[in-house]
Amino acid sequence: MPEPLRIAIAGLGTVGCGVLALLRDNAALLEQRTGRSIEVVAVSARERGRDRGMALEGLDWRDDAAALAAHPAADVVVELIGGSEGAARALSEAALANGKHLVTANKALLAHHGAGLAEAARRAGCHLGYEAAVAGGIPIVKALREGLAGNRISGVYGILNGTCNHIMTAMHDSVQSGQAREFDSVLREAQELGYAEADPSTDIDGIDAAHKLAILTSVVFGCPVDFGAVHVEGIRHVSAVDIGFAIELGYRVKLLGIARAGEDAVTQRVHPCMIRESAPIARVDGVFNAVVAEGDRIGSALFEGPGAGAGPTASAVVADLVDIASGRVMPAFPAAAEGTPRPAAKPMDRHVGAYYIRLMVVDRPGVLAGIAACLRDEQVSVEAMLQRGRDPGEVVPLVLTTHEAQEAAVVRALGAIGRLDPVMEPPRMIRIEAF
């Protein structure tokens, strides 16, 4: 019988305890699938005395997580501390330097330091596993890196943050029910339900999704992880009014991460999108995540599942441990083929697409003529217009959708429209994506 694979776990929060529970509960099954047992030999966490609902006797407890990197009995270090710097980075770099395999659920760490960690793993002949860092329980890294290895991938996009998807879903449902709720109200409820952090900015400002997109981009295109090349916008500005008009126009509003290979660069962007309600990803609701890959042989493939939580994330961590136990040690990121485009911080003003525009205007004669002139001057063509009822002299919403236009022209037109006397609020814009 081969020697057991021995694990040291840093971080005993929700995910760390989930990994311990899974390894214990499914020990026999995992041994059957790998041909060897997987044993936890050491752990580290900030609070030794906290009740975690499970027995920790027999495990070597280290108060300093960095000590796990040189633990004499451990073959693998599982980093579940979180954060792109500090203890998580120090432990990860030290573990690889000591010739230990590294498994992490830390998307921020990989988004900022993935290229360096991948190179350190290559030099050490170690496995760097990060299935749990992207989309929780969806085995998307293995699907893209292995299952779709025969495809030339032209693009990947998805719902990469469950908190934002929950908020957008709740706002959509409230508008449909006639009890329209605004962003702040739904966010507070999400915090009470445990779906959003006390400080939700990393989620609702798009940063978490951008971390994951940077990793996916490297997996798909074989280019270095480059978080700085991701355009990032959040969902704070999306209102119930926008959700209502989206429904009327046949769209859903989702925060999406999108990466596409162009002729000279890979572009990466995270922002709210309007997508046709008939698109498969439009029906992914609540805290679920989803990723769509577009390949030259598979066409369009959607992967959907829970994006967070003890069980799903632990499942992804253990998937990497199973690879290591089975001897499947591979490069962290696929090697780039010759001529592969690299990430580039392409300015969004060069983006070409369709747009949803909402204006709050005083209802009086001549308003449309002024707006139309501003759009005409920038050669932005209107596809449709919505204005419900008449309320002379009062402020009413006016919604336009455009044909494809360059974003720089749309932004200039909106700047001119915002300076018109009848326009009472800054114009709102949401990009429309055709999937």
- Convert the pLDDT of each residue in 67-97 to its tens digit: 999 999 999 999 999 999 999 999 999 999 9
pLDDT value at 309 more than 80: yes
Q: How many CA atoms within 13 Å lie on the side-chain side of 122? A: 11
pLDDT tens sequence across 349-386: 889 999 999 999 998 888 999 999 999 999 999 999 99
Quick one: pLDDT band at residue 336, thresholds 50, 70, 90?
low
Least confident interval from 34-48, 182-196, 385-399: 385-399
pLDDT score, position 47: 79
Q: Name residue 385's beta-bridge partners.
A: 400
Could you give the CA distance from residue 234 to residue 247 in angstroms, rounded to a whole number?
Answer: 20
pLDDT value at 261 more than 60: yes
Sole residue written with tokens 């908190």: 163
Cβ neighbours, 10 Å, residue 106: 25
Q: What percent of the chain has pLDDT over 70?
A: 97
Q: What is the mean pLDDT of residues 34-53?
A: 87
Closest CA to 317 of 38, 32, 50: 38
Q: What is the mean pLDDT of residues 414-430?
A: 95
pLDDT score, position 118: 92
Quick one: pLDDT band at residue 105, thresholds 50, 70, 90?
very high
Cβ neighbours, 10 Å, residue 188: 12
pLDDT value at 150 more than 70: yes
Quick one: pLDDT band at residue 49, thresholds 50, 70, 90?
confident
pLDDT tens sequence across 283-300: 999 999 999 999 999 999
Quick one: pLDDT band at residue 308, thresholds 50, 70, 90?
confident
pLDDT value at 337 more than 70: no
| pTM listed for this prediction | 0.92
Could you give the CA distance from residue 145 to residue 142 in angstroms, rounded to a whole number?
Answer: 5
CB 368 within 8 A of CB 417: no
Least confident interval from 49-53, 193-197, 343-347, 398-402: 343-347
First to last CA, the chain: 51
In terms of DSSP bridges, do strands 76-79 and 60-61 run parallel, antiparallel, or are they unpaired? unpaired
pLDDT score, position 347: 79
Task: Give all strands (DSSP E) within 280-344, no chain letters.
Answer: 288-295, 299-306, 342-343
pLDDT score, position 69: 93
pLDDT tens sequence across 131-149: 999 988 899 999 999 899 8
pLDDT tens sequence across 165-176: 999 999 999 999
Examine the residue annotation and report whether 212 is marked as an active-site residue of this protein: yes
Q: Give the type of residue at 125.
A: G
pLDDT score, position 92: 96
Sole residue written with tokens 């960690």: 117
Domains of the chain: 5-133 (3.40.50.720), 140-305+335-343 (3.30.360.10), 350-433 (3.30.70.260)
pLDDT score, position 303: 96
pLDDT value at 424 more than 60: yes
**CB-based contacts of 273, cutoff 8 Å, min separation 6:** 253, 254, 255, 256, 258, 430, 431, 432, 433
SS3 of residue 90 by DSSP: helix
- Catalytically annotated residue among 100, 107, 212, 346: 212
Mean pLDDT, rounded, of the chain: 91
pLDDT score, position 194: 87
